[in-house]
Structure formats: C-alpha cells, structure tokens
A and B are shown apart, each in its own frame.
Chain A
C-alpha cells in the first residue's frame, strides 16, 4: 500500500459510521470506537457526517446521491485516515464516488478514497497488537460489496484467526448475496426473502469439527439486519454480530463471550 507507509501510520483516524448507525444499528460503530481505542489510536467521529449516498445511487437517483457524496468528501477529506464500519459504504466511497462524480470532485474523491479503510482491513493492517479472546464458533458472511468491490476476502479470516478460542466455520455459500440489496428488498420482497432463506439454510448446515456456529459475523450491519429480521419473522433462532462488536467483546475487560444480543457489547 502506498497511501501511507509504515512510518506514516495514522495515529488519528476518522470513524465513518454510516447512516445505518444513526437509524437502526449503532452497535457496530460504537464497538469500532472501543476496538480502535484499544489499539492505541485517537478516533474522531465527524459530527457532520450523514450518508454516503449509496441508497440513492442504487435506486436510480444519481443527482441527489451525488449531493451527499460531495458532502461526504467535504466532511472526511481533512483526515489522514478514514475507517468505515460498513463494507458496502466503504465500497461506495472507493468505487462509485470517482466513477459518478465529475470535475474537481473526481480527483478529490480519488484522494480521499485512497485514505479510506474498511474496518476489518484496518484492524488487520494497523491494529495487530490487540489481545483478543472469545470462546465461540462463528461463521463469516462475505458481504457482496466488501468481497467484490473491495476484493476483500482474507482480512476477516485473519482477524478472526487472531481471536483466541474462536472457531471459524465456513459456510458453503459464504459468497452468496443475502438478498438485501437496499431498495431491492422493498421492490421484490418475496425474492429477497427467498434469497435470505437460502442463506439461513446454508448457515444451518454449516459445521466445523462438529461445532455449530453460534453467530453469523459480517462487516455490514444491513446484511445482518436483513438476515436476522427474516429469521425472526420465521421464528428461527439466528444470531448475528458485526465484526467490530465481536472484537469489542473479545477485548480484555469485555465479556469475552458473545451476549445473546450483541447490541450492547460496546456501550460501556
């Protein structure tokens, strides 16, 4: 990586929480604060941040989305490093901003995107001294944009591998979409639910050395929300946890086991 050499390792990072943190899933962003702080970093949360515009862009409303993209750039470009807790939102910054914006904004988008990290990758590269322990078995869902736009496959496995006591059971369809897809979930509810059901079946069949995963882990709160709310509607037991919440729970002083509802794992 050429964005920042070893010497220039950022000591201060801006947390990109995503609108999901404000609306429905504050847990991952709060947990990320704890994990990054435990790694000795100073974390700032720009209060002016709102949304990367992804949902508007993907719904076909490019101009409104671009307005939010430009705002995002203004908010985050003063920082040396930006860490986002939603793989999908980071992928939007990384891949869509420069593709969609024009004029000077394109260059600005490229420059800030070059300093923007997905949380898991950041922890992998920049926070390797963490003392992590959690007695659990989990499975990882490769959320689509993190896997395909960011090309990220190894960091989550390696980061989970650093957690003592944790067993990772890989699901056969870990690369398959959960069926959320933003407004797709509203436009095609039956299709979207059927896709989620495929994932739920796949999780149910997942084993590692005789162990059954207790939780589904991912780096996208919205995918996890979709899966767990589908499971809830069907009366199925499914527990999901964002990787930041899992790591926060694995820190010294954390519960070092996953609570039934990981929501408050970080809010201490």
Chain B
C-alpha cells in the first residue's frame, strides 16, 4: 500500500474500474474514514442483515404456491407442505446473504419486528391465538366497514365485522402477509383473486393479521419468499409502515396516498 494513501486508499491502477477500490470510498471499513467517527448509520436498522439461509422457523407456514393454496391450519401456525423445498433454491442463491443478522427464535424475531415497524409508524399487537387476534381486530374496527381478503388466516377473524366488497367504501382493509421481515418491519403480500390490490391500499387503515411463524429475519428473506412463488403472481407488494412523504421541506409526514395507519396483529409465537 502506498504511503500517500495509507488511510484505506488502494494502489493506483487497482483493478476496480475507474477509481481504485478503496480510494475515497472508505470501502469495506478498511479506510481511515471507515474507522473515523461515524455520525450516520449508527441508528440504522440493518436491512442487509438477511441470512442467505432460510431460517427454519420462518420457512414453516409458507406453501410453495400460496396464491393457489392458502396456508392451511387454523392455529396460526399452518405448515405448507412444500415450504422448505420451494424456498431453498432462490434463497440459497441470494447474493444478499453475506451479512447474517443475529439469529433467534420466533419470539426474538417478533420483538425485532415490532421495534422496526413501530419505528416507522406502524402499530404491532400480539395475540396468543386466532381468537385473541379476532378480538383485537374487532376492537380496532368496531362497527365500521371493513374490506377483507379471503384467506384461511382470516377465517376466524372476520366474523362479527361489518364487511364490504368495495375497498373505497371501507374504513379498514384486512389482510394477512406471506412473510414479515423482522429487521425492517416489512410485510410481503401477493395478489390474486382472493387477495385484491385494493384491500391493503385504499382504506385509510390497513390491518394485517400475521402468524408469528411467518417472521423471517431480514428484508432479503422476505424477498426470497415472494421470489419462490410459482406461478409468479401478477402483483406482489412489500409494505413497511403507513404511507409517508418527505416532499415538503424534506420533513417526514405520515399518511399520504396509501393507508394513514398500519396495524399488524402477530398471532402465536
């Protein structure tokens, strides 16, 4: 290494195109600047903390073809038969797999999920079982109109709600999610005839009832869940919090075109 560039600068003519590897980029933390005061990033959640491996806990509860054959089981812990197989391929090939987040059981993941989602303005509720989840949802919606997806997970939840078909007429949209990323508080949804696009989008409040065993560690794991779906759904959606905008003086405003509020009821775990 050249004395002139001791602080993490690479040799001139290094093999990286253009500016040699570390020059000025503080790349890899090898540079001086990487070791210097880091004012930014200390508070950042690790979005890259996704494991390349499929977390064993997370792998359960997802069918290889969720869209066509919704998750079975009524205890919030439905186990899709083909889960592991369907995911192993793409997840293993995930180039985002280098940084592994601290592994942990579902409980740990639930805490991380709650912290991450609440940090971006969502609300997380815990329910021991579907009955308690139903109670929670009823508590939120009361007698007001709800648009709900048709899904096994919601079967026990929708009874007693005032259901409407048109999401534009609803005050609440009720869905589940195929996966939920603990580190970023992200929900992963796929659309089909039973899961229209409007439910989680149009009503001012979105409520998602998610079995805790669908938690995965990182964002990349949630992407891997969606990537494994065959046939590829016509629409898939990642959601991390209520809608927001920073377009006026770069000041964060919560509640823009999408829902103004997002509630997630984690069931079991």
Contact = CB atoms under 8 A, between A and B. Distances in A.
A and B in contact, CB less than 8 Å: yes
Interface of A: 1-4, 81, 84, 90-91, 93-95, 97-99, 106, 109-110, 113-118, 121-122, 125, 147-155
Contacts of B9: 94-95, 149-152
23 contacts: A2-B1, A3-B1, A94-B2, A94-B4, A95-B23, A99-B18, A110-B12, A113-B4, A113-B12, A114-B3, A121-B7, A122-B3, A125-B3, A147-B24, A148-B23, A149-B19, A150-B7, A150-B23, A151-B22, A151-B24, A152-B7, A153-B7, A155-B7
A135 B22 CA distance: 37
B8 interface: yes
Residue of A116, A149, A151, A155 ringed by the most chain B CB atoms within 10 A: A151
Interface stretch (B27-35, B127-135, B177-185, B226-234): B27-35
A230 B229 CA distance: 62
B33 A151 contact: yes
Residue of B9, B12, B13, B20 ringed by the most chain A CB atoms within 10 A: B12
B26 interface: yes
Size range of the chain B interface in the assembly: 20 to 34
Contacts of B4: 84, 90-91, 93-94, 113-114, 116-118, 121, 150
Interface of B: 1-9, 11-13, 18-20, 22-24, 26, 31-33, 35-36
Contacts of A90: 4
Given A114-B3, A151-B24, 6 more contacts: A3-B1, A90-B4, A110-B13, A121-B3, A147-B33, A154-B36
A115 B3 contact: yes
A110 B7 contact: no
A97 B36 CA distance: 28
Given A94-B12, A95-B23, A98-B13, A116 B7 contact: no
Contacts of A122: 3
B36 A151 contact: no
A106 B36 CA distance: 32
A154 B9 CA distance: 13
Contact of B36 (A4, A118, A150, A153): A153
Given A150-B9, A153-B33, A3 B24 contact: no
Residue of A110, A150, A154 ringed by the most chain B CB atoms within 10 A: A150
A109 B7 contact: no
A6 to B, nearest CB: 13
A158 to B, nearest CB: 10
A151 B3 contact: no
B2 A1 contact: yes
Contact of B12 (A2, A99, A152, A153): A99
A95 B13 CA distance: 8
Contacts of B8: 151
A111 B3 CA distance: 12
Contacts of A99: 12-13, 18
Contacts of B31: 151
Nearest to B7: A151
B23 to A, nearest CB: 6
A110 B6 CA distance: 15
Contact of A114 (B7, B11, B19): B11
Contacts of A93: 4
Residue of A110, A116, A148, A153 ringed by the most chain B CB atoms within 10 A: A153
B33 to A, nearest CB: 5
